[in-house]
């Protein structure tokens, strides 16, 4: 079968609910984005896995972004191979186990061997592997300060703040509006912690996607004529561990993962 160029061939597989969980306004827009290579069929949480896999296989479609991500993984693995993980373990908040670095992400243990290969009992993918390996390569160590700042106040964050708000905070706010118990679910799944340091939010949750790079999600419920609100905050030391683009990618990747969790569990 030739590569599919007609969005309607994808659209007929979709739920046609225009739910917005792919962060596009309609299922037809999503179908068009898949044809352009801007979205993957897996980005629709309601598309049956078997149907999506068969469609991709039959059409010969490839995800160009995934290819770029794999190239990035290989480049980072080459840099990790030049490091002494045993020397870095304590600085990174990890420990050595059987010759590999054991490091926690969202409460789950991951092993990184001396060639930069990442393994875990959990599913691993490039969206997680890249920030984890970048953290190993770039982190200067140090402990979190406990001072929380918005993305725009991080160095270089102001220029990317509107995109971060759109792709990260607004998408997660819509999810929590639909699934009011999502933040409590994240506490259970990812060893999160409720915190009172959330700027008087109705609920604030601290998660640790990387050992020394916590994030805080603060949510305000709708009240009277006021809409709900949600902000994602970072420890003021975040850029001791990742550059601004990596922090952006990490946070937006988390939101996409939370959307899939909401579709399955809420």
Domain span at residue 237 reads: 148-265
The answer to whether residues 43 and 71 belong to one domain is no
The answer to whether residues 34 and 76 belong to one domain is no
The answer to whether residues 35 and 117 belong to one domain is no
Report the pLDDT value the prediction gives residue 2, as an integer from 0 to 100: 42
Domain boundary among 23, 41, 62: 62
Q: Higher pLDDT residue, 123 or 241?
A: 241
pLDDT tens string 89-115: 999 999 999 999 999 999 999 999 999
Q: What share of the chain in percent tops pLDDT 70?
A: 88
The answer to whether residues 184 and 85 belong to one domain is no
The answer to whether residues 255 and 158 belong to one domain is yes
Over residues 173-193, the mean pLDDT reads: 92
Least confident among 78-87, 118-127, 194-203, 230-239: 118-127
Least confident among 14-18, 53-57, 99-103: 53-57
Domain boundary among 138, 171, 201: 138
The answer to whether residues 38 and 108 belong to one domain is no
Report the pLDDT value the prediction gives residue 198, as an integer from 0 to 100: 84
Residue 169 tokens, joined: 């905070």
What is the rounded average pLDDT for all residues in the chain? 87
pLDDT tens string 19-44: 877 777 788 888 888 877 777 777 78
- Tell whether the model's pLDDT for residue 117 goes beyond 50: yes
Question: How many structural domains are present in the chain?
Answer: 3
Domain boundary among 119, 138, 157: 138
Confidence of residue 185 (pLDDT cuts 50, 70, 90): very high
Strand partners, 112: 101, 118
For the beta sheet containing 95-97, the strands, ordered from the edge strand earlier in sequence to the opposite edge, are 95-97, 100-105, 108-112, 118-119
Report yes or no on 143 lying in a domain: no
Report the pLDDT value the prediction gives residue 52, as an integer from 0 to 100: 57
Report the pLDDT value the prediction gives residue 35, as an integer from 0 to 100: 79
Report the pLDDT value the prediction gives residue 231, as an integer from 0 to 100: 97
Report yes or no on 172 lying in a domain: yes
CATH label of the domain that carries residue 170:
3.30.310
The answer to whether residues 120 and 55 belong to one domain is no
- Tell whether the model's pLDDT for residue 178 goes beyond 60: yes
CATH label of the domain that carries residue 25:
1.10.15.40
């Amino acid at each position: 079968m030739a590569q599919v160029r007609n969005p309607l061939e994808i659209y007929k597989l979709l739920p046609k609910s225009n739910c917005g969980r792919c962060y596009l306004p309609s299922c037809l827009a999503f179908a068009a984005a898949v044809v352009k290579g801007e979205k993957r069929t897996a980005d629709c949480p309601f598309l049956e896995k078997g149907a999506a896999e068969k469609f991709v296989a039959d059409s010969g479609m490839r995800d160009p972004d995934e290819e770029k991500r794999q190239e990035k993984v290989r480049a980072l693995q080459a840099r990790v191979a030049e490091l002494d993980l045993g020397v870095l373990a304590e600085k990174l908040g990890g420990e050595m186990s059987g010759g590999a670095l054991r490091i926690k992400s969202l409460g789950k243990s991951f092993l990184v061997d001396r060639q930069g290969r990442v393994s875990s009992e959990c599913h691993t993918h490039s969206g997680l592997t890249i920030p984890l390996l970048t953290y190993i390569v770039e982190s200067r160590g140090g402990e979190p300060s406990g001072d929380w700042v918005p993305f725009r106040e991080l160095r270089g964050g102001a220029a990317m703040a509107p995109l971060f708000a759109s792709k990260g905070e607004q998408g997660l706010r819509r999810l929590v509006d639909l699934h009011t118990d999502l933040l409590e679910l994240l506490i259970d799944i990812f060893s999160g912690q409720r915190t009172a340091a959330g700027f008087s939010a109705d609920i604030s949750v601290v998660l640790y996607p990387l050992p020394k790079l916590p994030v805080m999600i603060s949510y305000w419920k709708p009240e009277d004529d006021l809409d709900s609100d949600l902000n994602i905050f970072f420890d003021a030391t975040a850029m001791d561990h990742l550059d601004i683009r990596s922090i952006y990618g990490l946070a937006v990747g988390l939101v996409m993962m939370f959307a899939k969790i909401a579709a399955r569990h809420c």
